[in-house]
Structures are given as structure tokens and as C-alpha cells.
Amino acid sequence: MSKPFTVQPLLRGVSLDDAADSSSSRSHLDRPPAGVQAGGSSPVSKSTGIFGRNIRPLVESLDSFAIVLCDSTLSFYRLPDFLPFQQGLQPIKGVTAFCEDSSQKGYLTGDRGVRLCITKRRTIQFYNLFESSISEPRELNLPNGALVVTRWDNTVCVADGNDFNLIDTRVGRMIPVLPVVQSAPSGSNSTVLKPVCIPIAGDEFLLASATSSGQTAIGIFCTGSGEPVRGTLQWSSYPRALAVEFPYVMALLRGNVIEVHNILDQKQVDRLEPPIETRTLIQGSGMAVWMSALAKVLTLQQYNQDRRRTESGRSQQETGRIPSVLARVLIAGADSVSALVATPPVLHADNLLQKGRVEEALLLSEKMAATISAGNLHRDRLQYELDYIYQKSGLIYLGETLFDDGFGLLQRGKLDPRVIISMFPDVLQKPDIVSHVILFQGTRDQVTQLGTVPHIIERTMSKSGSEQETEYGKVLLKNAKDIFLHYLERYRKEYMTRRGHREALLEAIDTALLGLLVDNEDDVKLRRLLESDNSCAEDLSEQKLQQSSKHFALSIWYKVRKNYKATLSIWKKLFLGELVDNSFDIELKDMAMLLLSIHDIALIEEYGWWIVEQDETIGLKIFMPGDSKRAAMFDPDRIIDRLKSNISQDGLLNYMEYIVFHRKSESTTHHDILIHIYIENIARLVADPASSGRHTEVVGQFIKQQEEYILGLCKPRTTGAAIMEPTAMEHSHSTFISYLQSHAKSDPVCNYRFKLCQLLQSSKFYDPADVLSKVDPIPFLKIEKAILLSRLEKYEYCIKIMAVELKDYKGVEIFCLNAGVFRSPRRGAKISASESVPSKESLMDVERKKELFMILLQEYLQMAQDQGGMALTLRLLDSQSSYLDLSEVIHLLPPFWSVELLQQYLLRSLRRSYHELKEVQIAKGLSLGENLRISEELFQLYETQGPVVISADDICHICGTAVADTVFMRTVDMKIIHLHCGSSVMLNCGGLFNLEDYMNMPEEVTIYVLDSRRPVNLRNAFWNNEVIVFHESDLDKELTLEKEAIIFTEENEYVPRNGRGWESDEDGLDANNGDDDNDDDDDDDDDENDRRQRRRTGIDTE
């Protein structure tokens, strides 16, 4: 069993003065400059030549300077050059002993500096020592003087030749404690000993008191107030020196013996006899001491490094730091210096492990682990020691084939997994896997001694002598690999969470894992590893997968590394059966998803068309991406040409719908193809008696619903009932197109017909006449025929089909309300018009609606009464009275109809006519008043400006001819022009629009811009580029000329350049949301129309 303490030699051949053993001044080892752990109070040889006297001085180092007591003089020197201070720190003479505050551990702390105690012959002085100065002393009387002084915080222990005394520096009170020699009266000099005392910690002191004979001594612990604490220590002789390394106290006794006691239980734990002649013990705050025994096990070095080879730089510093321990007690000998250090627990554990007592070593390591905390200054070294114990214990278990326990300890010891990987030669790994691994020297020796795992198993089997050793050895090896696999998985999971992990280590782990999983046929874990962010060695892993026929795993390997060509090639061969791998579970849709994620067009087409041949539904998705940027990679015409010969009609239909509806193709060819497919599918289905009969039944149900609706309208109408009759067709279920949509899922013919109607309504990129020739032979396609006739503006035939043949009364009225465009009404909106013509509608739309409703009225009147002709006519008159003029309708109605039947229509028509009459009268009155106001202003303008004289030389500024007429006008810039030329002068007040889009402008027109901040698009609108701008400063001057300069006549009426009115309806809205768009467009157009009207006439109101 190793001893608790070890003597570690430091220096040899150092000659010390014989007076050293008489020195008993307490000393410290404090940190020297530049961070080197050395120094403290130590005897300096008289041969140094520094002091020049035959007296051994005492040296104590404090931070960056040293204190030297020599020949009763206390001097101060700089470190490390050991030169005296020139000023500030002057020597102090007459000193018998000195010490600093042990609680400060020799450091300069804050503004108080180091608290220094100096004893003289009859006094004790207290100083505060700073880096380059010293404070004024505070002095207390010390009648008997002092041979020894020591201090802890505010308590000072002094001893003369007879007694120990404690002094409280705060009050200056001295307390006697005990005599230096027991059983001797105070002041007696029967036995003279040099007193020995030392501070422990926390205002606690240890005092050594001898018997009267001086042969034995006891150690007494007391507080700063003199109260005894703990038990007593016993020594066989009076100590020559004391030192403390808590919880141990060391005493240097006669006969060159050092006894070590535990302060806590006062038991002796060790007795040392150093091989050197010991003079004194020196205590300090600590210095790093390199231990050769510790270095044999904890020195870090590369696995393949020669022991005789020394490292340099950082590695050398690292390997030298770990086998170093902190020594707080030095042993000064006659010609050498040694350190008394506590034997590290790792050496005890290593001794146990060498004897095979692994459990005891692990128990010791658990005790060590309990002492490791954030506040432990030695936690790094202790952690290294723990790691070494776990590593060596785990390797010993491996040598005993206890693989489960062994790998668990190796993981706790943080052994580099590459070392263990190297112990499995048949596991996938690089040849030089451990060449650069850093590990403990003791661990490396143990690994070298064990060899590989197969050799370990072979040795174990040879010892057993079993006949079935071969079979058992295979089982053991498989068991070892399984446990090793779990070990690598756990290590990798933990290692991936660390920061700054090394790629070389991760590569070795992942590569070994891949090889083990391949050997174990664990395809699930192998795939998970390959799809994760792994660092497998590429050459080794690829070769291993190929040799093991892991084709699917190899394809995943290629996929992760974005080698998609190799991945798809393997998948295709596996799908076709050219390669066999039971783990292959990829479907065609997975291949399609992969193709949708790459951008290599050649690769996409190569494997995309192959997938189309296998499954056109999945394959077409590759060429129908939702991303517009990706869709631009494909040429639709080229794909269509290939699809026509490779896939079915349904597949081509799906692609054409994608091109037309999703990609918004404007190619007439694409629209014609899609329309042709719809018609062909409808014709094919109606040719089948079953499909035709089912569709006829569906259409018949719609007609029956309409007939039931007519019966509801044909009920006798009373006056009250007529007034309360709801407007619009609220009781009708739907239009025929929306009816087709509602039955699209149950009837394929309805589905194709609805899609065809939707396309015919929304598309502008087809020839209606050509499509009509294809639709005409199929008698079912009546609503489609009506849509095409409306495109050809054959409204009579269109309305006749919808109202008479289809009985789509709601649909035909919506058609008329939309001015001959097939749109669906806005959800929740009524179909009826207002009693007066809406002001927001363009005149062209209003006239078109009147024409269509008149055609519809005539169709309703031609129906027999039993077919609902009268009911439909009356409902139409009541709901759409705004578009049915009374003067025209009255001549079409049968003479036998009573006024009571037409009550609602007559009331609304007369009310509207009367309202229009009053509007005209009001407008005329307002115009007359405005005319009078303008005339009055004109007369006033004539009076202020006077007459304008026209000479023969005056010419029109616009046309350039002579002004030979009394009718003329003058612009704001005082230029004379003809009245007919002035009628063409326009004014822009900063409008953000291009006038050229709205009217034809002659070349001679001059534009006068009053708003100089925003003259937008004016120069591009006129050919002569003549634009006159009046800045804001000019506006006030010319304000009175505005009315004269701006004269609008009937010749300024709007003449559209593109032949359109202010409003233009957009075509091509689908049946679902067309009415919503129409209503919004009407609102926008009406607002824009009002703004344009204000621009034409609003200058006078500016």
C-alpha cells in the first residue's frame, strides 16, 4: 500500500549554513513573478555574495518583491532581478523577527496592501506594505520581546523564550496562552527551546509546548482568544519546525523524522525518514512539483511515440503539467531541497490495479469523484486521474473478456474510441488510425500488453482448454462486437452534442459503425446512419458497401453526397430486378420526388420518361412542377409531342389542364388540344348507352326542377302577393353550369362538360366558329353551343337555347345582366336591377343589356301559358324593369292582360320616368345658373382688361394664319389664337396618366401645365414636344386669366384612340367568380369615369 505522503527531490548540491536548523521563523512559499510557483521564506547561503556578511539571512517573497532579514535589518528587493529599491521602501533596522498576514497568502490585496508585523527588542510594529511604498507603523509595547511572530487576520501570536501570547491588533490587548515548556514556572530558564507555532486557518493556531525535560511535546490548537479547540497532538520530541497542508500537519522532529498527523482526528497518519539531512520545513501557498511516479502513468503522448523522444512546444508543456502536483511544504536539507507532497490517489489506485484489485480501485475513484467540484483548484488533475483509473480498469476487464463492464468503464474514462477500434482488426478502419492519438502513458502500456480483442479471446480459450474453444471464441468475438457497436453509438450520440468535435475522431467512429452495421445485416440502423450527417471515410465505406452487395445502402450513400446519377441508376436496376437487395423499399413516387428536387434537366428527362412508362400518373408529376421557375425548365410543346405517343388520353388531359390552367398558357394550340380532348371524351361517353342514359337522367332532373319552379310562379297573383313576391330567382336552385359542377363527381359527362364550359367561358385563345363545328354534331352539348354563339354575338340563338331548350331561366337572366358574357352572379347578390339605370354602367353596356332583355322577353312571350310563359314574363318585367322600356314593352304584351298583372312593372317604370324628368329639369336649371355666373365673370373680366386690339400682323399662335375675325381667344401667356384652335387646347393639372391613351391629339396642340410638380408623361404624348410649364410662382399672377385660357366646347368631346369607351369589360372570367370580378370592375370603371369627367369640366371649380 502506498504511503499518504511522498518526499519528492527538487534541488541537489545546494550548500546551506549550519545555522539553518536554529531558524524557526515561520515562512511562506508564495507565488513568484511571471506565474512560476516558487519562492517564499527560505535561507540564503552566505556564499551568494549579496549581503557580504557571515550571517544567514531570511528571505520572503511577496508578489513582485522580496523581504530580506539580515543582521537585524529588514530590506526590500525587486524580483526577479533581486535589486534593492532606490526609494520608497527603505530598510528597517533593529528587527528581531517579522511575518505577513497568513490569511492574505502573500498577495497584495486592494488598497490595504500586505499587512506586515515586525518585532523589535521591546516593541511590535504593524505596517501596510504596498508595491513601492510602506505605511507609517502602528506600534505596541512588547516588554519581553519576541523570538517568533505569526499572524492570521487581526490576531498575532508572539513567543519569547518562555511563553506564547496572543495579541488582538484591533484593541492592542495581549493574552497569555501557555508556556513554551510545561511544568516550568514562568521566567524559568531551566530548559531553553526555540518556540514553534503556526496558523491553521480561520483564526486558529497550533502551538507546540514541551515537557520540562524537553524530551516530549504536545501540540495545542487554540482560537484567537486563547480558547483551546480540538484535541492535542503528541510528539516524541519538541518539533524543530511545523507545516500545515490541511487537513494534515507535519512536524520535523529530532533524528531526521517527520511525523504527519490528521488535524481532524489528531491521529498520526504517516512517519517519514527522508534520505537527506533535514534542517527545516518551509510552508507556502503552493508550487507545482513534477512527480516521476505520476509521470509514468499520466504523461500524455502519442500512441506511436518513442518513450525516449521528448515533445516540444505546447505538447511538452501539456505532458509536463498533468503529472505535477501542488506541494505546499518543502524540506530544506543540508545540500538539497525536497517537497513533501500528498501521494496522489491515482498512484494508490494504480498500485491496486497492478495487483488485480479492480473493485477496490474503483471504490477509491468514487471517493475521488466526490471531491471534484467547481471550487476545487485541482479538479482538472483529479479528473485526469479519474479518467486514467477508469481507462485502465476497463482495459483490465477487456483482458478478462468482461466486455460489457469494460466498455462502460472506457466510456466513463473518455478513452479515445480509435484506440479500441484498433483492437478490432477486422472492423472497418484506416491503417494509421491511432498514429496521432494522445493518451496516457500507462494506458498505452496496458493496450500494448493486451493486444487485439481476438488475441485476448484466443489467450482466454487456451487457458480454459475446452474442446469447443473455437466455437466459443466466435461467440465471444460476436458478443464483443455487439457491445462495441452499442459503445460506439452511445459515444457518438454524446460526442455530437459537444462543441468543437474533431473530424478525424468522428470519421473513425462513423466508419467503424458502418462496417459493424454492414456485418450485422442491420439495414435499418445502416440507413439511419447514412442519411444522417455522417463523416464516414469515403473510399473505405464505398468499397465496403460494394463488396457486401449493399446496393440500396450504396444508393443512399450516393444520394447524401448528391451523386444523383449513381443513385437513380441503382434504384432503376433494383426496380427492374437487375440487382437484388432485400432492404430496397423505394417506390416510383420516391424516385419522382428525388427528380423534383434536382435541376439536371438531362437526368430528369432520362429517368422521368422511364417513370412515365412505368406509371404515367406518378411520372407526369415530374413534368408538372408547381414552382414557376422549375416549370420554365421544360418545353411544353416538346413534352406534348412525346406524351401523345407514350401515354393515355387521360394522362395527356392532365398535362394539358396543367399547361392551360396552372401555367396560364396563351397558346391557341394548347387551348385547342384541351378543348378537343374534352369533346372527344364527352363523345366517347355519350356513345356508351349506360353513360348516356345516366347523363340524360341528370339533365332531366334539372329540367324537372325548373318546371317545378314555373309551377310555383304560376300561382294566382293578388295585389298583396305581387308586392311581396321576392325579386330575382331566389327559389331556383342554380344555373345549368353550376348544376353540372354539383354532379361532376357522380357523372363523368357532367365533369367533362363543366370543365369544357369553364374553359370556353374563360379562354380567349380559341376559334369559336371552329369549336362550334365540333360541338354541333353532339346534341347533348347545348349550353356549350350557347356559349360559343355568344362569342359569335348570335344572342338570339343563344338565348333561345338557354330559355327554351335548357330551361335555364336563372342562367339566361345572368347572361343578360352581364351584357352577353357568361359569368356567375356574386354570391349572395340579387339578380334584379335597380329601378333606374345605374349611373356606374357605361352606355354601351346599358344598351346591350336592354337589347338582350328584350330578346328574352320576346322568347318568354312566345311560350304557351302552360309552359310558364306568362309567369316568366311577369317575373322578368318586375325584376328587370330598368332595362325594359315601357314604350317598347307595351306594344308586345297581349291585349288581354290586365293592369293588375302589370302593376309592379308599371309602377316602377312610371316612377323611373318621372325621376328622369325631374333630373333633366334640375340639370337644366343648374346649367342656366352656371351660365349666368360665367357670363357675369366674363363681363367683369372685359371691364378690368379692356379691349384687345387685333392688327393685320397678328397671327394665330397655333395654326399660324392671320386672325382676321372678331371671334378669338387669348391664352394665359397672352397669346392670340382662333376660337376653333383654342377649342383643342388642353390643360394638365398634374394628373398621373398619359393623355395619349384617351384621345387623338393633333400635332399643333400646345399643353399648358399649371402644376409644375408633376408634369408626367406629357412630352411623350405630343409630337411637337411643345410644353409650356407655369411654375408655382406664376400661378398667382395668372390666376385671373385661368377662365379665359380654358374654354371647353363640344369639340372637346372624348374621341377614343383605341375605339373603346371609358369602360371596357374584361372577357374570360370563369363561371365561379366572374360576377364578383364584374361588379368590382364596374365600380372601378365608374369611379374612373367620374374622375375623367371631372378632369374635363372641373377647372372652373378648382
Q: Where are the alpha helices (DSSP H) in 520-632?
A: 523-531, 538-547, 551-560, 564-576, 588-597, 601-614, 616-622, 628-631
Is a pLDDT exceeding 50 seen at residue 562? yes
Which helix (H) or strand (E) segment is 459 a member of?
A: helix 453-464
- What is the rounded CA–CA span in Å between residue 839 and residue 825? 20
* Choice among 362-376, 434-448, 780-794 with the minimum mean pLDDT: 362-376
- Confidence band for 339, pLDDT divided at 50, 70 and 90: confident
* All cell numbers assigned to 600: 439536371
How many secondary structure helices (H) and strands (E) does the chain include? Answer: 38, 33
At 11 the pLDDT is 80
Q: Is the pLDDT of residue 570 over 90?
A: yes
* d(C-alpha 753, C-alpha 1071), whole Å: 13
- pLDDT recorded at residue 305: 67
CA 832 – CA 814 distance, rounded (Å): 10
Which single residue is written with the C-alpha cell 517568533?
148
pLDDT in tens, 506-517: 999 999 999 999
Q: Are strands 228-235 and 241-245 parallel, antiparallel or unpaired?
A: unpaired
Quickly state the pLDDT bin for 932 (edges 50, 70, 90).
very high
pLDDT in tens, 1005-1036: 555 554 444 444 444 444 444 554 444 444 44
> What is d(CA 148, CA 26) in angstroms, rounded to the nearest whole number?
8
| Grid cell 314574363 in the structure block, residue | 873
Give the start-end residues of each E strand in 51-192.
Answer: 58-62, 65-70, 73-78, 83-84, 92-93, 97-100, 114-119, 123-129, 138-141, 148-152, 155-159, 163-168, 173-179
Render pLDDT for 602-636 as a digit per residue (tens, 0 to 9): 999 999 999 999 999 999 999 999 888 888 889 99
For position 109, what pLDDT does the model report?
Answer: 56
Condensed to tens digits (0 to 9), the pLDDT of residues 371-398 reads: 777 666 667 778 888 999 999 999 999 9
Angle at 787 between CA 785 and CA 788, to 5 degrees: 65
Which amino acid is residue 902, in one-letter code? Answer: L
State how beta strands 986-988 and 1007-1009 pair. Answer: parallel
Please tell me the distance from the alpha carbon of residue 1042 to that of residue 1037, in angstroms, as a whole number.
Answer: 10
Domain boundaries, the chain: 25-142, 666-912, 947-1061
**Which amino acid makes up residue 675?**
I
211: closest CA among 236, 247, 242, 248?
A: 236
Give pLDDT tens digits for 476-495.
899 999 999 999 999 988 88
Say how far apart CA 1102 and CA 1097 lie, in whole Å.
10
How far apart, in whole angstroms, are the C-alpha atoms of residue 1082 and residue 782?
Answer: 30
Q: What are phi and psi of 483, to 5 degrees?
A: -65, -40
Ramachandran angles phi, psi of 245, nearest 5°: -135, 90
Of 288-292, 642-646, 963-967, 1087-1091, which gets the smallest average pLDDT? Answer: 1087-1091
Count Cα neighbours of 55 within 13 Å in the Cβ-side half-sphere: 11
DSSP H or E segment with residue 252 = strand 248-253
Q: Model confidence over 829-859: pLDDT tens digits? A: 444 444 444 445 678 888 899 999 999 999 9
Site of grid cell 471504490: 363
Q: Decide: 379 and 427 in contact? Cβ < 8 Å.
A: no
State the virtual CA torsion across 929, 935, 937, 941 in degrees, nearest 10: 180
Q: What percent of the chain is predicted at pLDDT more than 90?
A: 37
pLDDT at 60: 63
At residue 74, what is the residue type?
Answer: L
- Is 708 strand, coil or helix? helix
**What are the pLDDT digits (tens) for 674-732?**
999 999 999 999 999 999 999 999 999 998 888 888 877 766 554 444 433 443 344 44
pTM value is: 0.61
Which distant-in-sequence residues (6+ apart) come within 8 Å of 50 by Cβ?
Answer: 44, 82
